Amino acid sequence: MQVWAGCRTQAIFSDFQSQSQLQENAIFCEVADISQLFHIMRQAERCPNVTIKLTKNAARRPALRVSMQGVRPHLDISHDVPVRVLSELEVRNISAPPLESEVVQIVLPCLAELSKFVDKVRSTSCDRMTFTVRDNERADGAAATSCTLVVLAECFLASFALKYSSVQKCEREGENDADFDGEGDGNGGDKPKHRDDTSMAYASV
């Protein structure tokens, strides 16, 4: 399975600063252990003040320093997540995975609910999980603007399903001249707009 995802900066950070020699002061990093970062971010969910800073660790290697203030009275916690800063040449070679024309592209529904479902079925030792997306049919025969997403987890004794009946479809590359860069809504005409807190994912199996 290939996944290409993006999220507007304002959906994650209340205050964001970046300085680099690349366009728009962009900095691209490769996280050495994504599971470590996920674990740290879960710890930070209920923390009132969290700061993420690109810095160097004790070994003078680049790292994302996640600092949590106010976890407990008079207690601050910091974690360093090793990263590799990508060169401009490497960044130019990064692109979304190619998708066939019949593959549906969608805006993911509530990630918190989806994550909770995955965490629950993980404890049941399910050996298979299937994501199925189908266009919703319209009575007038026009092109569908929404889809039905079904997440099915199966194990030896039972199966569990999570269904979304109206998932928004994404615009395909070339349908819109605006890029998903956080400036403007990137929509034209009567096409639906994406919210600032929306994560977008493109996947093919």
Q: Per-residue pLDDT tens for 70-92?
A: 767 767 888 999 999 998 888 88
Q: Provide the Cα torsion 136, 137, 138, 140; round to 10°.
A: 160
pLDDT of residue 81: 94
- The token pair at 55 is 């810095």
Q: Which residue has better confidence, 179 or 21?
A: 21
Q: What is the pLDDT of residues 96-105, one digit of tens each?
A: 766 666 677 7
Q: Which residue has better confidence, 56 or 113?
A: 56
Q: Please name every residue paired with 85 in a beta bridge, in sequence order, or none if there are none.
A: 29
What are all long-range contacts of 38-47, with beta carbons under 8 Å and residues at least 24 apart? 40/66, 40/79, 40/81, 41/66, 43/68, 43/77, 44/68, 47/71
- Mean pLDDT of the region 144-149: 83
* pLDDT over 90 percentage in the chain: 12
Q: Which residue has better confidence, 106 or 201?
A: 106
Q: How far apart are CA 18 and CA 53, in angstroms?
A: 10
pLDDT band at 3 (very low <50, low <70, confident <90, very high): low
What is the chain's percent helix, strand, coil content, to nearest 5?
15, 35, 45
pLDDT band at 65 (very low <50, low <70, confident <90, very high): very high
pLDDT of residue 55: 93
pLDDT of residue 38: 87
pLDDT of residue 46: 80
pLDDT at 193 over 80: no
pLDDT of residue 131: 84
